[in-house]
Structures are given as C-alpha cells and as structure tokens.
Structure 1
Amino acid sequence: MAVFHQLEQFPSFRNPVVTIGSFDGVHHGHKVILSEVVKAAKAVNGESILITFEPHPRKIIHPEQPLGLLTAPEQKIALIRQEGIDHVVVVPFTRDFSMMSASEYVADFLLKNFQPHSIIIGYDHRFGHSREGNIDLLKQMLPGTVRVIEIPAQLIEDAAVSSTKIRNALLKGNVTEAGEMLERQHSFGAMVVHGDKIGRTIGYPTANLQPVYPDILVPGIGIYAVTVTWKGNRYKGMMSIGYRPTVTEEKKITCEVNILDFNEDLYGQVLTIYFEHYIRGEEKFASLDELKQQIAKDELRTRELLS
C-alpha cells in the first residue's frame, strides 16, 4: 500500500475507485465499507484509494472542541493497510482548504487530482465550505463517465454509532467493551516524562506518561490493567488515570503506569499502552500507607486479569 501526503506526488492511477472519510478507529463498521471499496476496484481492474485528512477537519473548523480520536495518524494508516486498500492519500486540512466551495472541491480537488473511475461515499457525506455539498450535488457536477456509488445508509449509520459507542465506552472506563467493538484493545503511544517520583517511595515506581498524539482519546478516570510494549517486548502493568487525590490537591489529570517485574530507566522513551481491563475507580486514601495497601491489591488483581 502506498501512502501519499502531497498531491503532487501522485502517479497515474488505473481506474481509481475513491472513497473519502476520517475512518477514525478503523473499527468493524469501517472495515465493512472498506471491503466494498476493495471489491469495487477489483471489479473494474482498478486501484482503491482512500482519501483522509490530517489534522481532523474538526480541529480546524471547531478548534475549541476536544477531538478524542481513537487512532493516531500512523496507527490509522497501519490498520487501513490490513484491509487491502491500494493507496491512502492524507490531505493536509488547512483553513484555506476548508474555505473551498463545493464546486471548487469537485473540480479542483477530486477531478483534477484523481480522475476517478468511481467515487464511493455515504448518503450523508458533506463537502465544501460550510458543508454545502452533498451526494446529489456531487452526482450533478461529475462527468457522466464517473460512477457515484452510495454506501447503504445502514452501513454508514452502523459505523457512526460504533464510533460514538466506542468513545462513550472508553470515557466510562469500559475498555473491554470498547476493545470488542474495535476488534483490538484501545492503545496509544506515550512518552515517559518526569513526575514527582512518589511511587518509588512506596515501592511502586511509575512512569509518568504524555500521549505522543495530543488528540488521542484517553480513557476515563480510574485504575486499569494494561499491557505495555517497549523495544519489541511486552510487559504487564497497572495504569492510573486521574487527579491523584491522596498526594496532591492539584486539579490536573495525570497518566502513570507501574510496569510489573521491570526495572529500567525509561525517561524520554516512547511506550505503547494497551488498555485491557478496568480495575476500579480513583479513591482518596488517608495516608500513603493505605494507598500502598490498595496498590498491592491492584497488583494481585492485575496479575490475575492478565495471566
């Protein structure tokens, strides 16, 4: 699969069958759509092309709203690769791009750059400034030689519902349920940064984490059993997401992980965290000793869940 980040990089595609969307999460609903695109391309001896945007359009159009995405760009591309798409085009989404009229979008972006044989989109697909374009307008504006194939409404709705359900599940800490819908565990890359090192004083040193991709969705506050990959190896761990009320009054959410049976200096390293199970909610303890006793119980539970 080839990945293009600049429109001028394009080769000449053979009978391009194009689909457009964010495909955040690349979950089961998306996979059904992508399989239809791959099938349609094979039917005309063509090449399947997925057009997506970076950053997510909402970040440019509504910068005040948190995104909470299910996949970082590199992870999304890796997941799309597994679905048999021939080419992914990652279009830089800028303020200028968002101001293109619907007619400019069709003529100067779709037709000029892709010369599509077919375009496969959902009935609710919108494009152009203020989302003025829709599938009916697209059909009117394209030459008669270009087929517009509408993805069935049920598939589109299933995909949209799945994305919402997955995000809601993660925000509630239901990482196992989210994993079933994603068909994999929710995960993200995170850099180890300096913290206040309280964990090591009670025998449970933690790595303080900062997600590499700032728009990724971090699950809801609580304690989780996780697996951690670093340098090709996989480890078991306990993850805390929350305000750490036992040790600070600061109202700032932090992410930290205690990796079991591990003793390495990780500062500045990037780990990948996979959320396996929710253990409990965050609690405030009367003392560090009480906190330590609870963490010992969490460790036993983590080992049991990940055995």
Structure 2
Amino acid sequence: MERILVTGSNGQLGSELAVLASKYPQYEWVFADRSKITLDDLETLKIQLEEIHPNIILNCGAYTAVDKAETEKELAFKINHLAVELIAKYTFENNAKLIHISTDYVFDGTSSIALNEDEETNPVNVYGASKRAGEIACLKENPNSIIIRTSWVYSKFGNNFVKTMQRLMQERDGINVVNDQIGSPTYAADLAQAMIDIVESPKWIPGIYNYSNEGEISWYEFALSIKELGGYNCNVEGIPSASYPTPAKRPEFSLLNKKKIKTVYNLNIPNYKESLKKMFV
C-alpha cells in the first residue's frame, strides 16, 4: 500500500484532502501538521521524513502570511524555499512522487493576458520571491516533481477572503474592496480533487502546472458574488489598491491559463461561481 504524506494538514488544502481521503482507501494517508512535519527546522524535518517514509508527498504546507513575510523574510524563505528543497531531495533519493503547491504571486502582475506556466517570473513581494525560490529548488533537486501554481484559495476551512467577506457583510452596512487586482479564485476542494486525480492518473508528467477555477474577476467582483449568494444587504464599493495600502505589494493581474493541466490530465475545472455556491450549501 502506497503511503501519502500531506503536509500542512490543518490548512485549507490539507483539510480538503482529509475530507476526500476516505474515498481512496487504497492509500495509507498521513496527515501531518506542524508537530509531525516541522518545516521551519530542517534537521528535524529530515528525521521526520525518514520516519514517515512516504511514497507520495502532497506538499501543502507553506508560509502564507503575505504581509508578515516582509518583516519575516528569513522564516518565509526557510519554509517556502529550504524546506521544499529538502523535501524534493528526499523524494528524489527515495524514488517518491512529489506534488508541490506554489502561487500566482511568482508573477509581477504586468501581463494583460492569462499567464502560461513558462511565462517569465518576477515576484513583487517577499512571499512571492520565497515561493519562486522553492519552485527552482524543487525542480533542481527532483526534476520529476509536479508543481501546481494556484491563486486566491478559499475553503470552508481556515481563514480566507470568502469567510472574511461573509463575516463583514453580516456585521457592517458597507465595505470597500479593491477592484484593480485581476485573477481567479480557487476552491480548495476542487484543487484537492485535482491533486488526487493526478496521483490516480496512469501517467506522471513532471513540471509546472496552473490551477484555479475558471473566470476572470477582480476581488471586488468576487465580493459581489459572495454578497449575491449569501443574500447580504451590505453595500460593497470598489476601490483602487492605492486606497488600501498593504505592507506587501500585490500583482495587479495574475490570471492563470489552465490549458496545460486540462490537456495533460483531462481535468474538468468548474467556473468560480459554481464552486463558490458549494460554500453556501
């Protein structure tokens, strides 16, 4: 029986994989939170990987506090770069499979068309730079890895934009949401299923893939969809990013082109609104 290790098991994606795992009893699933897999302590991480000895690693664990990363650069790089490097090295030396999750924040946001996997990267913040360093290290240490770049992840689990909007729209009469950052949301349950579909596939084609739900929207338009589906009375106004300064700069345009993953793995990716409805069921 193949053993699948899921890192970041308490996060949005790890939690959605845990929901799906019972449908795939042919695998031995190991869900590892920070106590089982210590991404910020490399010596301990090495020992933990040897002890668990997985055949497949779904690396969902990451440092994701985008603004905080600006002042915690060393920690962000340790988790998003050096730990990934070590995991990739382990999988290569032990002939194990690795699916590593990355981000649209590896791009600078100056494109105006959906981004392909081979588009030039140019992160505009520390988080994006740490994730890009992780991608490079991952493919260097294990060229047989699969990296999935995703964007705007939300879920019934954890903290995310959708849950924040649901709360604020019930608490306040009006809110402002940036309307000049364009991309597409990703329902973590859809991405979790896509990862399992890849593991289940008879073929394993390494490299970088993009995955998000279909649709091209701003955060403001996303908020309007949340308002509509939740039936909230809150007034939602669109504002430019300049009116809502944050410690970390965000890419203005980071819509991902999903043609490669749909073609190679024959995946059917739902429109963002279809998936968003599942949050309200």
Smaller-chain TM-score bracket: under 0.3
Q: TM-score, length-normalised on structure 1? A: 0.26
Structure of higher RCO (CA pairs closer than 8 Å, 6+ residues apart): 2
Q: Which has the larger radius of gyration?
A: 1
Which structure shows the bigger proportion of residues in helix conformation? 2
Which structure shows the bigger proportion of residues in strand conformation? 1
